[in-house]
């Protein structure tokens, strides 16, 4: 079974959704996975 590719358009749509509807989770991702414990704002870009 071939894996579906995430195109630039799909990535843009996912990032927009996360930034618009789940901004608190994006900050949590930055603090936990991005090793930025002092982050108070973040945006998903890719």
CB 19 within 8 A of CB 26: yes
Cα–Cα separations (whole angstroms), residue 23 to 4, 13, 44, 45 = 26, 14, 9, 12
Round to whole Å and give the CA distance between 13 and 31: 23
CA 35 to chain centre: 15
Q: Where are the domains of the chain?
A: 7-46
Weakly modelled stretches of the chain, pLDDT under 50: none
Whole-structure pTM value: 0.81
- Phi, psi values for residue 38, rounded to 5°: -95, 5
């Amino acid at each position: 079974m071939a894996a579906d590719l995430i195109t630039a358009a799909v990535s843009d749509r996912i990032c927009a959704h996360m930034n618009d509807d789940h901004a608190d989770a994006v900050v949590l991702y930055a603090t936990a996975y991005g090793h930025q414990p002092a982050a108070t704002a973040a945006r998903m870009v890719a």
